[in-house]
Amino acid sequence: MAREIRNMISSRVKGFYFISFIIFLGLIGRLYYIQVYDNEELKFQSLKQRSTEISLISKRGTIYDRNGIPITNRESTKTLVAPREEIKSNKEIYEKVRKNTLLSLMEIEEILNSKNKLIQIPLKREIDISNNHNMFIVDITDRYSKDNILSHVIGYVNKAENRGESGIEKVYDEFLNKNNKESLFVEYDKFRSLILGGSHYADNAISSEEPSAVRLTIDYNIQKKLEEILESSSIKGSVIVADAKTSEILAMGSRPNFNPNYMEEYFSRDDMALYNKAIQVSYPPGSIFKIVVLLAALEEDPNFINREFYCNGREELGKLVINCNNLGGHGNISLKDGFAKSCNSVFIQIGKKIGAKKIMDMAKTLGFGEKVGIGLIEEVKGILPEGEELLGPVIGNISIGQGKIETTPLQITNMMATIANNGLQKDMTIIQGVTNKDGRIIKAYNTIDDLKIISSKSSKTVKTLLEEVVNTGTAKNIDSEYLGGVAGKTGSAEGTLNGKATIYGWFSGYFPTDNPEYIITVLVEEANSGSKSALPIFEKISKEIVDLNR
């Protein structure tokens, strides 16, 4: 009996020691975790209790391309955070800042004359402040990249209020403006003075609401190539690249460009740098509008394609005389050749035959005179003549895309997409939707169903004629074989720019011809002609796209 009692006591003692040992190991493990893994967080929490938070920047939700590549919040800038009076009174530091900042001298002076005790100055390169213990250099996320990619589509923000002012920034401001902020916690003493050499800690403070982002239909790689070509070409105008099968916008560029990081200088400029010329400015379409006239004729009579015409080099409509692009005239000419060579006489004769109203009805069917509606509020409707503006000799100008007709490059792209899809109009968009932090779309962009607006027969006839423009007509200089065949139309429109007469050069087309994948529209201001100014840009971008897909 005594032996059983001793055994029972011995077992309990062993159990007690074992449990104590486990608890001891747990305490040691927790202490090790705090010292090794949780040390930075504890330091930060301790610092927060004896420091002041300085807001560096209000972060906004990221804008992504179709493949999840970020277009905003891609880069960061070294930024000097320092007492304002220290910069003003220390000539050596002032000179370092002046020589190495991204700001102009005027902008530096504005900051130094502000009422802020601590100021922030973005740097081109890091400077030596090892002897200045009350200054810090931190990395601050840049909202926009330094190459100004997709600036007109993304738009810009009012930095003081973190509010979107244009483009996607404005349309989706309620979603993009809920997110994080970057802050700097700086150690102060009990008198609220900055401790020289004290601790500082940069932090991302996450809002209580789930971060939102916006995903576009843009392809970043195509967009980047487009920007490079526009920059090297030094043109004024715009370019649009669309997916021929879905009508989604893959790239969009406008020139002159602007830097959304530094907006102040652009508000007083008169070069329209802030205008997205792909959607926000309408232009006379010139000969590219002959597609509309051709479709109006074919929808009325499919056999119109077999008609013959005569061009003597000019058309007289009362007192209005319109020359053909071939002053000597083309003589007897078929509709097929007249379209390929962009003969004005042929299309004025067609216009007189079918009338201005039917041409305008077709233009409206194709979406001219109305916004395409891709999701950007800056888009304009363009202009179509109406009422008495359709009467008399003006049929001459209407038939060749001149007079009071104005279209946007986006509307031209929309028309070309309809033709490429055999008369089926697909809803054109540049936005996929709003996504959560996992990249899942939580608010999709609303699209409408496809709509058959042109007969397949008329569409196929026009497609054949568009190929002829490239094979034998005004766009024959393009290397179409490299692209699998190209179909398109040039245009050279007379207009005014800043009160001066000018030529607008157009080319819009698609490739490859057998199974269209891409549609590209190019508009060049102050051009020689569509074939000399816009067509080379189309060719360069098309070849880059082909190379990207290899």
For residues 339 and 507, what is the distance between their CA atoms, to the nearest angstrom?
14
Neighbour-count burial of 208, counting CB atoms closer than 10 A to its CB (0-12 exposed, 13-18 middle, 19+ buried): exposed
DSSP letter for each residue of 166-227: SHHHHHTHHHHTTS-EEEEEEEB-TTSPBPTT--EEEEEEPPSSPP-EEEES--HHHHHHHH
Task: Name the token pair of 431.
Answer: 């936005």
In a domain, 42, yes or no: no
Spatial distance between the Cα atoms of 475 and 361, rounded to a whole number of angstroms: 28
**From CA 470, how far away is CA 462, in angstroms rounded?**
13
- Residue 376 · residue 154 · CB < 8 Å: no
Look up the domain containing 70 and give its range: 52-211
3 state SS of 100:
helix
Looking at residue 261, its pLDDT comes to 83
In this structure, are 341 and 400 located in the same domain?
yes
- What are the strands, taking DSSP E only, across 258-335? 308-311, 314-317, 320-323, 331-334
Task: Provide the pLDDT for residue 447.
Answer: 87
Residue 120: what pLDDT? 85
Using an 8 Å Cβ cutoff, are 71 and 65 in contact? yes
CATH number, position 300:
3.40.710.10
pLDDT at 263: 80
Tell me: do 292 and 354 sit in the same domain.
yes
Structure tokens at 315: 């058309």
The answer on 536 and 427 residing in a single domain is: yes
CB neighbours (10 Å) of residue 394?
Answer: 19
Residues 231 and 323 in one domain: yes
The reply to whether 183 and 302 lie within a common domain is no
pLDDT of 3: 55
Q: Considering the entire predicted model, what is its pTM?
A: 0.84
- Regions of the chain with pLDDT less than 70: 1-18, 26, 29-58, 179-211
The pLDDT of residue 404: 94
CATH number, domain of 113, equals 3.90.1310
The confidence score (pLDDT) of residue 198 equals 45
Q: Which of 280, 298, 520, 300 is nearest to 407 (CA)?
A: 280
Other beta carbons less than 10 A from residue 528's beta carbon: 12
**Which regions of 208-313 does DSSP assign to beta strands (E)?**
213-216, 237-243, 249-255, 308-311
Q: Cβ(87)–Cβ(139) under 8 Å?
A: no
Surface-to-core class of residue 105, CB atoms within 10 Å of its CB (0-12 exposed, 13-18 middle, 19+ buried): exposed
In a shared domain, residues 348 and 467: yes
Same domain, 206 and 225: no
> Are residues 538 and 509 in contact, defined by beta-carbon separation less than 8 angstroms?
yes
Residues 357 and 321 occupy one common structural domain: yes
Q: Which two three-digit tokens encode residue 230? A: 């526009």
Residues 240 and 204 in one domain: no
CA distances from 144 to 141, 255, 331 (A): 9, 18, 57
Residues 371 and 466 in one domain: yes
pLDDT at 397: 96
Among 371, 382, 459, which residue's Cα sits nearest to residue 418? 459
Judgement on whether residues 203 and 322 belong to the same structural domain of the protein? no
Amino acid 14: pLDDT: 63
Tens of pLDDT, residue by residue over 274-329, are 999 999 999 999 999 999 999 999 999 999 999 999 999 999 998 899 999 888 89
pLDDT of amino acid 201? 46
The answer to whether the beta carbons of residues 221 and 398 sit under 8 Å apart is no
Number of domains in the chain: 2
Number of Cβ atoms within 10 Å of the Cβ of 319: 6
Separation CA 428–CA 448 (nearest Å): 9
